[in-house]
């Protein structure tokens, strides 16, 4: 591993672990945990390649291996503001399930344009189901802990 005394720079390939916390301090997501999205390995990023949020990029620039920084993201920089227009009702017959979804459950629905959307069931009344298409973290300020593990300078 090369000398990283100047810290990470644009073009460097870095390995980073991250942990996302809700405003209540609960862990929402962590690269250390094994899940559908993560295998527990650190994230490998080339700084400046456009693959990460600008706030993260600004935070990672200058970090040294072993350093940990915390950054707060406003809703519009994370999963967006909560959009009340994404709360709507659908007929049960619109769903292709062989079971009745439960309140609080995340279900996949097919939109009129043919795309699929993951929505949360808010209420079930008769033949109608009220759903919310917002991301569960929409409208929330999130805190990210970023730990720089390795820096491979550009060109090496």
Give which of 133, 89, 97, 139 is closest to 115, Cα–Cα: 133
Domain boundaries, given as residue ranges, for the chain = 13-79+137-152, 84-132
Q: How far apart are CA 75 and CA 60, in angstroms?
A: 20
Which residues contact residue 143 at a Cβ distance below 8 angstroms, ignoring those fewer than 6 apart? Answer: 20, 21, 23, 70, 71, 72, 73
Give which of 24, 5, 15, 44 is closest to 141, Cα–Cα: 24
**Average model confidence (pLDDT) for the chain?**
91
Better-scored residue on pLDDT, 75 or 110: 75
Indicate the CATH number for domain 84-132.
2.40.10.330
pTM of the model: 0.76
- Give the model's confidence band at 1: pLDDT under 50 very low, under 70 low, under 90 confident, else very high: very low
Model pLDDT, residue 138? 96
Q: Average of pLDDT values for 139-155?
A: 95
pLDDT above 70: residue 144 = yes
pLDDT, tens digit (0-9, with 9 covering 90-100), for 30-85: 999 887 777 889 999 999 999 998 999 999 999 999 999 999 999 999 999 999 99
Q: Average of pLDDT values for 88-93?
A: 89
Indicate the CATH number for domain 13-79+137-152.
3.10.50.40
Query: Percent of the chain, pLDDT > 90?
Result: 72
- Give the model's confidence band at 97: pLDDT under 50 very low, under 70 low, under 90 confident, else very high: confident
| φ, ψ (nearest 5 deg) of residue 76 | -70, -20
């Amino acid at each position: 591993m090369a000398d990283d005394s100047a810290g990470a720079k644009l073009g460097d390939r870095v390995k980073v672990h991250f942990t996302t916390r809700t405003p209540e301090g609960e862990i929402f997501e962590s690269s250390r945990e094994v899940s559908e999205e993560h295998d527990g390995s650190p994230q490998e990023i080339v700084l400046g390649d456009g693959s990460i949020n600008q706030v993260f990029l600004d935070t990672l620039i200058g970090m040294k291996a072993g350093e940990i920084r915390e950054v707060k993201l406003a809703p519009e920089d994370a999963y967006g503001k909560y959009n009340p227009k994404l709360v709507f009702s659908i007929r049960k017959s619109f769903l292709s399930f062989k079971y009745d979804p439960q309140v609080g459950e995340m279900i996949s629905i097919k939109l009129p344009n043919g795309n699929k959307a993951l929505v949360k069931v808010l209420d079930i009344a008769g033949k109608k189901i009220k759903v919310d298409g917002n991301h569960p973290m929409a409208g929330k300020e999130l805190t990210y802990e970023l730990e720089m593990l390795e820096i491979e300078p550009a060109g090496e």
